[in-house]
Amino acid sequence: MIVPAVTLHDVAKAAGVHYSTVSLALRGDVRVASPTRENVQQIAARLGYATHPAARALVERRRSKAVRGPVIAWIENHPLEAVQGSIAYRNSVLEGGRRLAKTLGYECRAFRIGTGGIAAEDLDATLRLAGAECVIIGQFIPGHAELQLDWERYCIVRIDSQFLSASVHCVSSDRIHNVRRAFSEMWSLGHRRIGLCASRMQEDCTRQRHAMGYLMEEESLEPSERIPPLFYPYGTGHKELAEELSLWIERHKLTAVLHDFDSRWLGRPALPDHARWISLCEAQVRPGFRGIDPMAATIGEKAVETVAMLLRTGERGLPRFAHDIYVEGRWSHG
């Protein structure tokens, strides 16, 4: 809820002086006699007067004659190759965010903490120095550097990263919608043995939303017709996964495999003639693929749009109830 802030005028009324006197007194100007100055400062403190963060930031920037806009810090906690999913996907998300940030008058800068980046405990100082007003937690993954942040300073949004316990608004891909769409498209093409192969790590980062959608689609099948999803553990190498996949495909006689990994990372093991690989995250990144286009750029845009709204309305820090925004993917026939 927005409570109208205490203004200079409120302090002036309480102190029985003109508001310009209040302004001078709060800045410690010697033109105001020191008893008056102290009296005004005390009253301001009692009423809880504070310069509005937006006004402060505006004045600071005007004073420094800077041309650039406020900074959105885009933070990651892992080296790029740690994402078994798609690096191309991550790049499009960031690109989409950057583009909208520029249109809205922001400057978007990426930071990496942990391995190959700044030390986690130095993050806050770095962000202050950069003049960051907003923070986007960009696809953090478990088991890497942890986030140490003076939360109250910033307008914050995360992308995926749902394993983090902090209450932060989230923007993510609508994996329930996407996996159900892919399943029903393949079903209507006549496939009856459709499996899901997903990374435990990605599932932990997204509250098992691929599993949820997939299990719901399987509900309509006879229990004997259902195929247990293949969740591959943290740190699975591409060779191990390829072997396990082949066994799983053969055991369950699959004709279609819905998968969340980057097929360039895995290489695609040979499938029986009639079987198909269906990517849940690559269709846009690799044109010509049949599967889900996750609309990665829109996810980045939504994240920027959300922090921009938080900045406008002055909502910094951790909300009591964080909401999740999901962006629907599109089916691409390939």
Contact (CB, 8 A) for 281 and 86: yes
> Which region, left, alpha or beta, applies to residue 234 given φ > 0 means left and ψ of -120 to 50 means alpha?
beta
Cα–Cα separations (whole angstroms), residue 77 to 106, 131, 201, 237, 303: 23, 20, 14, 20, 17
Binding mask 219-258 for other proteins (x = CB under 8 A): x---------------------------------------
7 binds other proteins (CB under 8 A): yes
Those residues with Cβ within 8 angstroms of residue 66's Cβ, 6 or more apart along the chain or in another chain = none
Stretch that binds other proteins, among 55-63, 232-240, 245-253, 255-263 (CB under 8 A): 55-63
What is the spatial distance between Cα 135 and Cα 131, in angstroms, rounded to a whole number? Answer: 11
Closest CB to other proteins among 117 and 160?
160
Minimal distance, residue 209 CB to other proteins, in Å: 8
Of 170, 294, 153, 36, whose CA–CA distance to 28 is shortest? 36
3 state SS of 158: strand
Q: Residues 215, 227, 242, 271: which binds other proteins (CB under 8 A)? A: 215
Closest CB to other proteins among 77 and 139?
139
Binding mask 119-138 for other proteins (x = CB under 8 A): --------------x-----
> Which region, left, alpha or beta, applies to residue 76 given φ > 0 means left and ψ of -120 to 50 means alpha?
beta
Residues forming the site for other proteins (CB under 8 A) = 1-2, 4-5, 7, 52-55, 57-58, 61, 65, 67, 69-70, 102-106, 133, 174, 176-177, 208, 211-213, 215-216, 219, 295, 298, 302, 305, 308-309, 311-314, 321-328, 330
